Structure 1
């Protein structure tokens, strides 16, 4: 059986969806991208493409390539399958960021990263379904509004600083626009107390298969008050009324957030890796 790597075209959309749906929890980010933006086979049109490994006529692994390497997201698979795609992309892509199952991201780094990444962190992917949820809720959690943006921006920047050790306000000229766009898309939830925003969480990716939560952040002065537990329970209960599952990436060394996730009902899955090169 011949093994080939090629850029995916419109005719491959159903094969890609079927591949990702075999392990929906570990492919939620890619499933959300596919559902929201479709499969764009022209790399210069829309700024992204998908590449796949085929064993004969069967698609066995795929990699999302955004911004000519600005973000690479491999499908959940062993490193060997992803590595073959990475080797084929070596002359086309300059890796600047990647996220996904650790063996698959490791394979991308080996083939496409020159030198040491600026940041490399391992995470545990936690998942929950409606049957797993505990009794934690806070009905005061609400969608962020555009008038919240001046108060929201410090929390959004604080989340990036803790997660990626980056000053997003200073380093990213488009950061504020992205935060605002996420608010307009109804993907950011906040908790307000005494006129102050004390907690935020984003819906990073959403599809019929579920949603991935990200950038969960409590203002440092408001920690150890139960906000994260109650608000994570609240948004999880709300989203799981219409979705089959949710996921949340928790850094391996973040024992506090891992305890919160488990208390709410999330179960730990496989290890993921996030890499930033520059």
Structure 2
């Protein structure tokens, strides 16, 4: 018999085993689970668990994003029903493509229309030293350099997502999150003449994996190979100091980015889909 319920701290041992089954794919939810131990005030949302015969088979994070994990077709349908009843509070539905697209088919009448559906996003990972030289000029961003990094981060977000992160709060939340990553030593950049020409951050982190995000090269400098050396530098640091595996996901139509990551040493481990609102 199937059942779904909101998970809490008492479920942490079981949930951590579930999200650690495929840590490079489920790194975002895994990071939330490990950091919060499922304490409601620290999780940043809810975690729904799907059970069959008393066994936890799947879960779904519901916060600023809705993200299914190991969702069977039945679980995806159940999560979609739960999400529809609660109403849309998220900015995106993202995760393994089969589960996300199953959920979206059911949620579209309630939540649609979407601003954009990206149905095929390769998830890539690596755990070995990059196969290309790292850019020696790429380094961690210092806290006193946030003002220099911030415009580049806003430009990247706007280009990638299609809307500015400077929303109703004037960008305060986005800047606070960027500052947090800088202070944690997880923001990297190459500076030239007082401006950023390459940047990337390490967003989610678990004991088993971390995820690169926000890769960006100043438009007029694209085509020079800055991304290859820059990403190699971030991966090298991540493997040495942060986690034993590094992952990311990318839009399949961005052939230049896909090729860049493959040159660095990334290989495909899955496929995401993202529905943006």
TM-score (norm 2): 0.90
Q: Is the 8 A contact 1:31 1:209 kept in 2?
A: no
Structure 1 residue 177, shift from structure 2 partner:
2.5
Structure 1 residue 46, shift from structure 2 partner:
5.8
- What is the rounded CA distance, in whole Å, between the counterparts of 1:177 and 1:29 in structure 2? 19
Q: Is 167-176 or 121-130 further displaced after alignment?
A: 167-176
**CA shift in 2, pair 1:45/1:186, >3 Å:** closer
**CA shift in 2, pair 1:214/1:45, >3 Å:** closer
Gap regions ≥5 residues in structure 1: none
Corresponding residue of 1:247: 247
- What is the rounded CA distance, in whole Å, between the counterparts of 2:177 and 2:2 in structure 1? 39
**CA shift in 2, pair 1:169/1:15, >3 Å:** same
Gap regions ≥5 residues in structure 2: none
Q: For this pair of structures, how many residues does the alignment match?
A: 270
Q: Which runs of 4+ in 1 moved over 4 A?
A: 44-47
Residue 77 of structure 1 pairs with residue 109 of structure 2? no
User: 1:169-208 residue pairs with structure 2 within 5 A?
Assistant: 169=166, 173=170, 174-208=173-207
Corresponding residue of 1:224: 223
- What is the rounded CA distance, in whole Å, between the counterparts of 2:7 and 2:167 in structure 1? 37
Structure 1 residue 171, shift from structure 2 partner:
5.6
Structure 1 residue 104, shift from structure 2 partner:
1.5
Structure 1 residue 139, shift from structure 2 partner:
2.2
Q: Is the 8 A contact 2:202 2:213 kept in 1?
A: yes
Q: What secondary structure sits across from 2:152 in the alignment?
A: helix
**CA shift in 2, pair 1:176/1:241, >3 Å:** closer
- What is the rounded CA distance, in whole Å, between the counterparts of 2:122 and 2:180 in structure 1? 28
- What is the rounded CA distance, in whole Å, between the counterparts of 2:7 and 2:186 in structure 1? 29
Corresponding residue of 1:128: 126
Corresponding residue of 1:137: 134
Corresponding residue of 1:21: 20
- What is the rounded CA distance, in whole Å, between the counterparts of 1:166 and 1:198 in structure 2? 21
Q: What secondary structure sits across from 2:59 in the alignment?
A: strand
Structure 1 residue 225, shift from structure 2 partner:
1.6
Q: State the Cα deviation string for residues 222-254 of structure 1 (Å, max 9, x = none).
A: 111211100111111121124221111111100
- What is the rounded CA distance, in whole Å, between the counterparts of 1:45 and 1:215 in structure 2? 24
- What is the rounded CA distance, in whole Å, between the counterparts of 1:244 and 1:47 in structure 2? 26
Q: Is the 8 A contact 2:36 2:42 kept in 1?
A: no
Q: Is 106-115 or 183-192 further displaced after alignment?
A: 106-115
- What is the rounded CA distance, in whole Å, between the counterparts of 1:45 and 1:199 in structure 2? 32
How well do the aligned residues superpose, as a CA RMSD in angstroms? 1.9
TM-score (norm 1): 0.90
